[in-house]
Amino acid sequence: MIFLSTLLFSVFTTIALTPLLGSLAVRLRFVDIPDERKVHVRPIPRVGGIAMAVGALMPVLYWLHGDLLVRSWLAGAAVLVLFGIADDLWGLGPKAKLLGQIMAALIVMFYGNLSITSLGTLLPEGRVLPESLAIPMTILAIVGVTNAINLADGLDGLAGGICLLIFSAIGFMAYQAGASSTGFIALALSGAIFGFLKFNTFPASVFMGDTGSQLLGFSAITLSLNLTQQSAVLSPMLPLLLLGLPVLDTIYVMTARIARGASPFVADRRHLHHRLLDLGLHHTESVLAIYLVQTAMIVAAYVFRFYPDPVLLTGYLLFSAATVYLSLHSDGIRWHIKRSGWYDTVFKRTLKRLRDEGTIIRHTFRVFEIGMLLLLLFSCLIPAEVPRYMSLMSMVFAAGILAALFLWKDVLGTLTRLTLYLAIPFAVYLGEKAPAAWMAGAPMHAYNLLFPLFVVFIIVISKFSRRREGFKSTPMDFLVFFLAIAFTKLPHTNGGDYQTGLMAAKIIIFYFCFEVMLAELRGEVKRVAMVTFAALMVLGGKGLF
């Protein structure tokens, strides 16, 4: 339960703090001002990183403060957060930011005993790098990746989505390798990013700023190095695959700047996301394209994690060479995506007509609503037993919803949403940990497969909805869909870890589904409230009778 509570704490803390800090930032004018290099057109608060830092650091500080890796990571992260806040609020020069990054790197190196000493089979057996090489190489790696993620934060949801994929991969491989502290930190960071992306997907209402991007970059390289340098079976080349896309982008851009005689730290529009926009992709299309490449990289890291180190290094170098070649070639021929007249005149008009008619959304949403309400009720039937305290709490909330249905209708929507957010984690947890005997085998497998199916419903409904407010389809849908599929398809190497990931995926999908449903119902929540009441009565009855 510690992993599930950590995930939920980081998600909800970030979701709660982000709008509060955003409102404060607007009043104090701590906002990101648009210019010719940026894609947003209005001032945006850049305080999301502070909310993520609190959401990720607090559970780690509470649960794992005695671990050496955790203490050094917390200390290094605190330094970067302080420097990031100063930069977001008042602006720091490159030298000041570099100083903070080096300080954080030195903390995890000398206090946390983290360094790049092994290159696997690239060195003769039993040989490790001497300190004269290991120290500067580790500092370069930490500072380089920290800046790479910072520079990748150029489109709404881009850096956050990339890092969510990275930390998900690190977390799963850490659990498999028995590196529980590494996996725990990765889980806390994943929850914080997930909560933040609710506000950062296009069009973003809050930016993470340097506070968030530097924290994520520093954490990604620190955790991946700790995982691979301490493992006897995982290749030390894995960080190249996990982090190689933003690193390659940074190296390419800085090399191009130096070749033109400019400073490598002068901002321009040569980053991968800018180039995709210049090729003709829309904002969300560019973000999704990079998500797809990053997904391929982490899948490759997982599949080839036990392969010989020269194979992984060669694969990454070939990927880098192909990426650079395509980039240079597109520059040479000035390639630009031309959208066909068929796409604009037929496809887009057809989608608009279908959306305006409402036929698809009307029938799809009816199936979705009925299916989700039945799934909620069924999930409460799965646990073989329910603790007495949980049953009593269920009865109390059921009484509250019943009273709201007849007496306090103005609070029915708020109470129903709150009850769902509290009841769903417990129902999923109890059903996953101690399911009834009749759920064994095929029924549980079929139940698990329903969740990716409902993610598809989310995407379809969000795309065809005629709502102007509430949940809309964004590239984040891809992240949810991919992670949901991944958790149901990963091998059961460690039953407890697999269950933790699966529970997290189910809970998050449940939340997404009910957010879509409540937004689409536009306040008409009586049916949802009645089924929620029935579900609570089921949970209450299982523990009391």
Render pLDDT for 479-536 as a digit per residue (tens, 0 to 9): 766 766 665 555 544 444 456 667 777 887 888 888 888 888 877 888 999 999 999 9
Residue 183 has pLDDT above 60, yes or no: yes
Element (H, E) at 54: helix 48-63
Residue 164: name the closest of 514, 441, 453, 505 by CA. 505
Q: What's the residue count for the chain?
A: 545
CB 474 within 8 A of CB 202: yes
CB 17 within 8 A of CB 50: yes
Looking at residue 535, its pLDDT comes to: 92
Looking at residue 80, its pLDDT comes to: 95
Which residues make Cβ contacts (< 8 Å) with residue 487, sequence separation at least 6? 498, 501, 502, 504, 505
Q: Position 371: which residue type?
A: G
Determine phi and psi for 308, rounding to 5 degrees: -60, 145
140, 141, 142, 148: CA torsion to nearest 10? 100
C-beta neighbour count of 32 within 10 angstroms: 18
- Joined together, the tokens standing for residue 431 give 């059903």
Q: How much of the chain, in percent, has pLDDT values that exceed 90?
A: 33
Residue 530: name the closest of 431, 419, 438, 440 by CA. 419
Residue 345 has pLDDT above 70, yes or no: no
Among the residue ranges 58-62, 305-309, 342-346, 483-487, the one predicted with the least confidence is: 342-346
In this prediction, residue 37 has a pLDDT band, given cuts at 50, 70 and 90, of low
Residue 433 has pLDDT above 90, yes or no: no
In this prediction, residue 352 has a pLDDT band, given cuts at 50, 70 and 90, of low
Looking at residue 493, its pLDDT comes to: 46
Residues 193 and 471: their CA atoms lie apart, in Å, by: 18
Determine phi and psi for 32, rounding to 5 degrees: -90, 120
DSSP string, 165-176: HHHHHHHHHHHH
Helix axes 476-489, 283-303, angle to 10 degrees: 20
- Joined together, the tokens standing for residue 370 give 């009925």
Higher pLDDT, 205 or 211: 211
Higher pLDDT, 246 or 279: 246
Q: How far is CA 445 from CA 169, 264, 428, 451, 493, in A?
A: 23, 52, 14, 11, 17
- Joined together, the tokens standing for residue 261 give 């005689």
Residues 289 and 201: their CA atoms lie apart, in Å, by: 15
Looking at residue 468, its pLDDT comes to: 55
Looking at residue 166, its pLDDT comes to: 95
Higher pLDDT, 463 or 257: 257
Determine phi and psi for 91, rounding to 5 degrees: 90, 125
Residues 309 and 301: their CA atoms lie apart, in Å, by: 12
In angstroms, how far is CA 515 from the centroid of its own chain? 18
In angstroms, how far is CA 235 from the centroid of its own chain? 24
Residue 29: left (phi > 0), alpha (psi -120 to 50), or beta?
left
CB 142 within 8 A of CB 110: no
